Chain A
Amino acid sequence: MKSDDTNLTPERETELVEAALAGDRNALGTLLTCYQKRVYHLCLRMVSNPDDAADITQDVLVRAIQHLGGFRQGSRFSTWLFRIAMNAAISHLRRSRVRSALSLESTYGGDDTATPLKAKMVSEREPGPAESVEQDEQVQQLMRALDALDTQLRSVILLRDLEEMDYQQIADVLNVPLGTVKSRLFRARLALRQIMEGRMVLKSEVSDG
């Protein structure tokens, strides 16, 4: 997994987790400090909105504090935390999709946001304030393509490339079989490439297990 800013080794993470489970709130604070930025980055790339990402990150971290007792020490704390984050982000996107579908239905006849309509909107929209500082056009194009990607495909790419998780960790986070992770990852890369080249990915192409 991707190393964080504080060089939190798995051993150190285990120590902190044990201390946090024993009631040491400083240890829990250290853990969250190590991961909060990455959680926010993941959420931002998932929902593509800084404010929403901040809200989700806050919700994720607070939930982690409140439900630490539910964490099983057999798994990695980071896996547990990113699973909470991914679920929260996907739930947010689902809610947003419903709202977006309701609003777009009257104008465009009810297209899904994962359809070419969304991709068209994403590709045509102007960069936001946060994106304006990112001068690299290729990065901008990549981010827009990620936005246009289906949620399931986007999540597996982000966990793999952004968080540098191995397949098993991704499977744990997304709660899907290992084979599904590999299959979804290849399809995600293929879909991303098609979006980058201007070809759209249809939802039917990625609907699998």
Chain B
Amino acid sequence: MVEGYDETLLLGYVEGELNDAERQYVQRWLNKDPQLAELLQQMVDDRNGVRVLPVPAMPQRVVDEVDRELNRVAAMEAMASAASGGAASDTPGESAAELDGEPVYVMPGWMGGLAVAASIVILLTLFLISMPNPNKAKPGSRDVADNTLVTDPGALGGGAGGQPATSGGPDSAVAQRNPDGTLPYADDNSRDQRVTTPPAIAETTPSVTDPANTGVDSKQTLADAADAARRNPPKPDTANTPVKPATTTVYAADAPSAELKRLLEQGGTKLTKPAAGDNGAPTTPDERRTVQDIAAIVKFLRDNPGRSGEVELHIASRDTKRTLRMLKDLSAGDQPVDETAKPPVTYPMMLGVEQLDAAINTIATDVFHADVYFKARPTLAAGSVPRDASKPRDTGYAPWPSLAPDYQAILQQQIPSRDNPLSNTQPVISISVTVEAP
């Protein structure tokens, strides 16, 4: 059909690229050959048809894969750039050495400054370490370096603060702890589960309330304790009733402890309630860290009971009534708190120093799943005033002129066991507690 015709002119006609003379020339062919004219017109139609073929949608997976490849290449280039940048930073030193003709490494100036600063820090640290620790010499006080918290029920009942227990057995158990050393506020569901003995918790342990970290199933322990408490309620220790001291109030004459301040200011002193896990264990590193911060503060208070007035314990509980009731039971000599009061409720609470961390664990994770955190107390007053004291409680008046030289011994004096059956075996601290809604 197209034989004998110039294909270039025919193509040009279809493509619309001929000039007038060429078009007229082709037009004469078409006039003579209708089949050729029809063929070329159909070619034009085909061309127009291909141009308007429907454009398909591209699969999303292709777009995603291309994006990933772009990101991957960008990341690799960034890494390569960073690596080359680090090498370039050393260039000045090397080039300076090259001026002498020998490849001698020249330390940059900032490294010299860094070395001096590091030396100062090391010397300062060595000096602080070499200073004597007054707590070490005190009977009944814990070594600051002893970074363990007593969570073992047996240890609590067997004499806190490094002292031997004056009386063993259930009757001398800590506060409302049961003979097996657990607290009577745990869930009943696990009463038949075994009692586990928590190990001593080191400073580096991620969490004192994280069973996954400590290997302690505190919930089980507390559940068993609750069961045991119902069966064997604590009885007053009449055989070992001490003489009530003239006062149990302690005022901090010193400036707020720098270490406590640091602990409080470390972001995240809030004991975050655990995620909705069944085991009640915090799941994220941040949560573990905050739990550890709480443990550090508790340890500090255990080692420095006289500092308890510098902090406030805040409990954000959804069940404030139950929380208040528990605190009331835990309290070692303070006035009862109105359980029906609307939160926030603030009152001073006295409790055995070794009991603090168990109480926090119970409140925070095992029973109420409340948020527990410490705050710096805005007054200089430390401790609380006894119920029958004439002075107003918790005021910001000036600190007591002087602490008794044997205040540690005063702290360890025993309060009548009817009110505080535990305090005869361990120091008692007074701390401001605020129960609030979450």
Q: Is A189 an interface residue (CB 8 A)?
A: yes
Q: Is A14 an interface residue (CB 8 A)?
A: no
Decide: A192 near B77, CB < 8 A? Known: A36-B66, A54-B59, A186-B7.
Answer: no
Do A138 and B49 have beta carbons less than 8 Å apart? yes
Do B49 and A58 have beta carbons less than 8 Å apart? no
Q: Is A165 an interface residue (CB 8 A)?
A: no
Residues of B within 8 A of A138 (CB): 49
Do B63 and A36 have beta carbons less than 8 Å apart? yes
| Contact pattern, A 122-143, Cβ under 8 Å of B = 1, otherwise 0 | 0000000010011000110011
Residues of A within 8 A of B62 (CB): 36, 40, 54, 57-58, 61
Ordered by A's residue number, 19 sampled pairs between the chains whose C-beta atoms are within 8 Å are A23-B77, A29-B67, A29-B70, A36-B58, A36-B66, A37-B58, A41-B53, A45-B53, A50-B56, A54-B62, A57-B62, A61-B69, A142-B46, A161-B51, A162-B50, A186-B8, A186-B11, A190-B2, A193-B42
Give the CA-CA distance A196 to B8 in the complex, in Å: 22
Q: Is B403 an interface residue (CB 8 A)?
A: no
Do A32 and B66 have beta carbons less than 8 Å apart? yes
Closest 7 CB pairs of A and B: A161-B50, A186-B11, A25-B74, A40-B58, A54-B59, A189-B43, A58-B62
> Residue of A at shortest CB range from B49?
A142
Residues of A within 8 A of B43 (CB): 189-190, 192-193
Do B50 and A158 have beta carbons less than 8 Å apart? yes
Do A62 and B10 have beta carbons less than 8 Å apart? no
| Band of interface residues on A | 35 or more
| B45 CB, nearest partner CB in chain A, Å | 9
| Contact pattern, B 43-81, Cβ under 8 Å of A = 1, otherwise 0 | 100110111111110110111011101100110010000
| A128 CB, nearest partner CB in chain B, Å | 11
Q: Could you list which residues of chain B lie within 8 angstroms of chain A, going by C-beta atoms?
A: 2, 7-8, 10-11, 14, 39, 42-43, 46-47, 49-56, 58-59, 61-63, 65-67, 69-70, 73-74, 77
Residues of A within 8 A of B46 (CB): 142, 189, 192-193, 196
| B262 CB, nearest partner CB in chain A, Å | 44
Do A65 and B39 have beta carbons less than 8 Å apart? no
Q: Could you list which residues of chain A lie within 8 angstroms of chain B, going by C-beta atoms?
A: 23, 25, 28-29, 32, 36-37, 40-41, 44-45, 50, 54, 57-58, 61-62, 65-66, 130, 133-134, 138-139, 142-143, 146, 157-158, 160-162, 164, 182-183, 185-186, 189-190, 192-193, 196
> Residue of A at shortest CB range from B54?
A134
Do A57 and B39 have beta carbons less than 8 Å apart? no
In-complex Cβ contact of A162 among B8, B42, B53, B77 (8 A): B53
Give the CA-CA distance A169 to B208 in the complex, in Å: 72
Residues of A within 8 A of B65 (CB): 58, 62
Give the CA-CA distance A157 to B46 in the complex, in Å: 10
Do A25 and B70 have beta carbons less than 8 Å apart? yes
| B114 CB, nearest partner CB in chain A, Å | 33
Residues of A within 8 A of B50 (CB): 142, 146, 157-158, 161-162
Decide: A162 near B51, CB < 8 A? Known: A36-B63, A186-B7.
Answer: yes
**Besides A32-B66, A161-B50, 13 new A-B residue pairs in contact (Cβ under 8 A), listed by A number:** A45-B53, A50-B56, A58-B66, A61-B66, A61-B69, A66-B73, A142-B46, A158-B50, A164-B51, A185-B11, A186-B10, A189-B46, A190-B39
Residues of B within 8 A of A157 (CB): 50
Give the CA-CA distance A198 to B43 in the complex, in Å: 15
Residues of B within 8 A of A29 (CB): 67, 70
Most buried by B among A29, A58, A134, A146: A58
Do A182 and B77 have beta carbons less than 8 Å apart? no
Residues of B within 8 A of A189 (CB): 11, 14, 43, 46-47
Do B58 and A54 have beta carbons less than 8 Å apart? yes
Give the CA-CA distance A37 to B43 in the complex, in Å: 27
In-complex Cβ contact of B56 among A25, A66, A130, A146 (8 A): A130
Most buried by A among B51, B52, B55, B66: B66
Do A143 and B53 have beta carbons less than 8 Å apart? yes
Give the CA-CA distance A190 to B44 in the complex, in Å: 11
Residues of B within 8 A of A133 (CB): 54
| A171 CB, nearest partner CB in chain B, Å | 15
Give the CA-CA distance A45 to B52 in the complex, in Å: 13
> Residue of A at shortest CB range from B81?
A23
Residues of B within 8 A of A62 (CB): 65-66, 69
| A197 CB, nearest partner CB in chain B, Å | 8
Give the CA-CA distance A196 to B67 in the complex, in Å: 41
Do A183 and B7 have beta carbons less than 8 Å apart? yes
Give the CA-CA distance A192 to B62 in the complex, in Å: 31
> Residue of B at shortest CB range from A134?
B54
Do B53 and A25 have beta carbons less than 8 Å apart? no
Give the CA-CA distance A65 to B76 in the complex, in Å: 13
Residues of A within 8 A of B77 (CB): 23, 25
Do B61 and A182 have beta carbons less than 8 Å apart? no
Residues of B within 8 A of A162 (CB): 50-51, 53
Give the CA-CA distance A137 to B68 in the complex, in Å: 39
Residues of B within 8 A of A183 (CB): 7
Do B66 and A40 have beta carbons less than 8 Å apart? no
Residues of B within 8 A of A196 (CB): 42, 46
